[in-house]
Structure 1
Amino acid sequence: MASPSSRAHHFSPSWSPRAQPLRALAVVGVGPVALALARRVLSVEDAALARWSGVAGPGVLVLLGDTESLPWVEGVVYLGRDAAAPSLLLPCTLAPDVAPALLDRALVARAQAGTPLAVLPRSGQLVPVGAARPVSREALSTWLAKQEAAP
């Protein structure tokens, strides 16, 4: 599991329910939800753990994997890819108030980070996930301990 290559970036388009949900390719937790997601992931067997890659940073955990394998805890957001915005992982059930292609170009240029970018509307964060690495139980346990110890 990797750390995002740059600090989180913020943005503020408006979002509304998506007419047709995207297929989930990632799951993200922010704040206490990230901690709950990490605990959930650490509870699975090694075979399940091996199906995911991820990135983690201060207060955020993003896991990538097959739709069927992605874990659930209350409060997570599932992300998918809109064909019109190939560099972004967008919330599966929300659509931006601007054309996805324009959002893609604007956010990639603004972030100046690796792609794809996980777009987190509620927190306003962009998280680069191009450096995602296989989830390691040891690395995730270390990240969780640091997050729990943080003020």
Structure 2
Amino acid sequence: MRPIINRAGHDYETEALVVRTDHSDDEAWRAVVELVDQPDGEFEIRSHFVDDPAFIGASPDEVALSTVAADPALEVVFIADAATMRGDHTLLAISTRPEVLDEGDEELGCTFRLLATLVNEVHVNLAIGHLDFWEYAYAAARDPEAVLRW
């Protein structure tokens, strides 16, 4: 069992949670942190990074369970996995909520990949209910590499 992620003192609406599950490349991790924290003229960037070896190899479900146990209001968790540590440094977004679809809607799943620079924008929009997770998942699914890039 993975440890519970302590979110005490962190705001679920304004602080994106990024959990590192791959520790193979510290330089790539530093690049990911820098990209996630890249200033955005529209939003204040505040992120909560979990860089704990206890999460090495953790599955998305394990990370989600470790998160909602301490912060049930959180809508999304971002995972820095092996794929994140190479190429464009895309992170895996995981919904902590079951998606409710109307009959006949296509099942998109509860994960999608996105550019690190979009983490905070996606997090805030989900936290305030401006957009739903499935809308981001749909946009990512339309990309040839299945990555949210807007």
TM-score (norm 2): 0.27
Q: Give the number of the structure whose residues are more often strand, by fraction.
A: 1
Q: Give the number of the structure whose residues are more often helix, by fraction.
A: 2
